[in-house]
Structure 1
Amino acid sequence: MTIEIRPIGEVAKEESRVCIWIYDSFWDATLNVDRFSHLIVLWWISGRDNPESRRTLRVVPKGDEETVEESGVFACRSPARPNPIGHTVVALRDIDQEAKRLVIDQIDAFHGTPVLDIKPYMPTSDRVDGAEVPIWFRGLLPRYTNSL
């Protein structure tokens, strides 16, 4: 099986804003994206696209040092993965039609990071009530645990 992935744009961290620069050939795909307040951005963790990171299957994730356990990469958000794909839920702040940029609030990717896809955030299907996480994750960042 052959899988072909073509970036649709890249992360653009400019002086006064954070954007997703959409390549010309994909700009038409942004029609009506302005009707959504939040988007899911899939991006290539290009800084970890190397044989060693792709072979890494277990890591000690970030978290409370007293409770964190070695975990498989499918059980954490490690950037070392067999296929280095990252995702971030972002707030759409504006659309710069002329520069072909989606202006967003933030993204945990570097300037120039390839963007693979963008999907609208759907509160009916992308939110899970009552989700459970390991104890070491609960203390990681309060913003993740307000509802836990």
Structure 2
Amino acid sequence: MEEIFLKLKGKDIKIYSFTDRSVSLGDILEKCGGELTEKSGNVYKSVVFLDKINRKDKIFNLKKALNSSDLILINSSRNMGIDQMNIESISYGIDEKSTITLSSISDIEDEEPIICIQRSFNSLFGNEYEPMEIKVDNVFGIKDLETYVGVMSIKIILELD
């Protein structure tokens, strides 16, 4: 688990990131304009980014993260019933049931893949996203399709360019 603290729009955001160790969500968010900060006691919102759980991430860490978070962004293929908990959740993935997905699987190979928002949701700051398609730059070198869609999803939820 990676704990990330960001300052966005003058507010402190905490992200619990459960992802492949080859991907540093903190580094990616910093490249996108997020200001990494030290741990803060005045957190506006907390988010769980649940892409992959490895053996080092104990269930205790996941439970702690879920109990103190306002939103979970969850890979739909690794759902594990978490979306049934009493926490707002947004699903992403490469299946047709995900809230956020790719328009087509081959898009990741393109220089500008297209992310598809299939259902309305609110960003962390309350702005509503309606169903639409968004062209995004494939600048992170992430080869795993689901992780890529997840990283793009958290950028959208945090309103990062």
Fold agreement, TM-score > 0.5: no
Larger radius of gyration: 1
Whose helix fraction is larger, Structure 1's or Structure 2's? 2
Higher RCO (C-alpha 8 Å, min separation 6):
1
TM-score (norm 1): 0.24
Question: TM-score, normalized by length of structure 2?
Answer: 0.23
